[in-house]
């Protein structure tokens, strides 16, 4: 299916907040709207990708609300909603009368392990899931950087609601190079695991994965799909899954219910 609607708008250059040598402004990649996903949720996710891309230094200023409204084609209230989410999650610092600024990256701990040794406690995910969106599009600067592709290279944008014993437990958004699975839309993602399709249909084996896991609270969009209350505790998960040759085969962002899952790491 193809739900992509609208076209990207190039963001105006925001003014730098410091003199020469200071952090430059945040210049956003063109935005492509996806049907049937609330705008404030799409804007938040797009801003997260931009701010986590590594292209900007801490302290860089985000464009003002008027510029963001023009870039996303959204109301000021929708923009403020998205910015409030980013501030709550610790990605930006909003300063009254000055603007919004990129914060320093969070401190990371590390647990060494392999993709197969990483264990999740809780019911295993059912095969497949409800496909909310599967589109083929050009990679923007953020996704291209993460996947190691050139800008405008073709990628799949896959958004699925996943279940465990028929209960919705996680909302996943995946980005994959089209060259890896050129006709992915022909396969039944409603009934099969993505990793099985990649291996069985394309001979693509995933070797390892890196995950960042953070506590968060569910917004309206997450709560609606996962069947939980707005503000309920969830995990925000960002995963890079690697092929044997070191390339990233899938980049995924997901929200997982905190009342269903817990993560277990065996330290030896």
Query: Which of 1.10.10.10, 1.25.40.10, 3.40.50.300, 1.10.274.100 is the CATH number of 4-102?
Result: 1.10.10.10
Residues 134, 1 contacting (CB under 8 angstroms): yes
Q: What pLDDT, on the 0 to 100 scale, is given for residue 199?
A: 93
For the stretch 19-47, pLDDT in tens is 345 677 888 888 888 877 888 889 988 99
**Residue range 204-213: mean pLDDT, rounded:** 88
Q: What pLDDT, on the 0 to 100 scale, is given for residue 18?
A: 39
Instruction: Give pairs for 18-23: CB < 8 Å, separation 24+.
Output: 18/59, 22/59, 23/56, 23/57, 23/58, 23/59, 23/60, 23/61, 23/102
- Answer yes or no: same fold for 4-102 and 119-264: no
Distance of CA 215 to the CA centre of its chain: 15
Superfamily of domain 119-264: Chorismate lyase-like (3.40.1410.10)
Task: Please check the confidence at residue 232 and state whether its pLDDT lies above 80.
Answer: yes
- The residue extents of the domains of the chain are 4-102, 119-264
For the stretch 81-116, pLDDT in tens is 999 888 888 888 898 888 899 888 765 544 455 444
Q: What pLDDT, on the 0 to 100 scale, is given for residue 103?
A: 87
Average pLDDT, the chain: 83
Q: What pLDDT, on the 0 to 100 scale, is given for residue 266?
A: 65
Sheet of 130-138: strand order equals 130-138, 154-164, 167-177, 248-257, 233-243, 206-217
Q: Kindly write down the DSSP assignment for every residue of 188-256, as one continuous string.
A: -TTTS-HHHHHHHHH---EEEEEEEEEEEE--HHHHHHHT--TT-EEEEEEEEEEETTS-EEEEEEEEE
Q: What pLDDT, on the 0 to 100 scale, is given for residue 265?
A: 67
Q: Report phi then psi at 231, rounded to 5.
A: 90, 0
């Amino acid at each position: 299916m193809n739900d992509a609607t609208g076209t990207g708008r190039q963001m105006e250059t925001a003014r730098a907040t410091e003199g020469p040598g200071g952090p430059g402004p945040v210049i956003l990649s063109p935005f492509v709207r996806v049907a049937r996903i609330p705008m404030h949720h799409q804007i938040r996710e797009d801003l997260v990708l931009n701010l986590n891309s590594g292209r900007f230094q801490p302290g860089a200023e985000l464009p003002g609300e008027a510029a963001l409204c023009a870039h996303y084609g959204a109301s000021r209230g929708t923009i403020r909603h998205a910015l409030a989410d980013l501030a709550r999650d610790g990605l930006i610092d909003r300063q009254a009368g000055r603007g919004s600024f990129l914060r320093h990256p969070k401190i990371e701990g590390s647990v060494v392990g392999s993709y197969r040794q990483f264990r999740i406690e809780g019911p295993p995910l059912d095969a497949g899931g409800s496909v909310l969106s599967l589109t083929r599009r050009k990679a923007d600067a953020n996704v291209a950087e993460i996947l190691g592709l050139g800008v405008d290279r073709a990628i799949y944008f896959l958004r699925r609601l996943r279940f465990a014993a028929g209960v919705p437990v996680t909302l996943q958004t995946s980005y994959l190079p089209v060259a890896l699975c050129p006709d992915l839309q022909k396969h039944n993602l409603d009934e099969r695991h993505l990793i099985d399709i990649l291996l069985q249909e394309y001979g693509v084996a995933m070797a390892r994965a890196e995950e960042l896991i953070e506590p968060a609270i569910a917004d309206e969009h997450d709560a609606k799909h996962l069947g939980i209350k707005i503000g309920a505790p969830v995990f925000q998960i960002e995963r890079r899954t690697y092929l044997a040759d070191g390339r990233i085969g899938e980049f995924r962002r997901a929200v997982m219910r905190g009342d269903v899952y817990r993560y277990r790491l065996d330290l030896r």
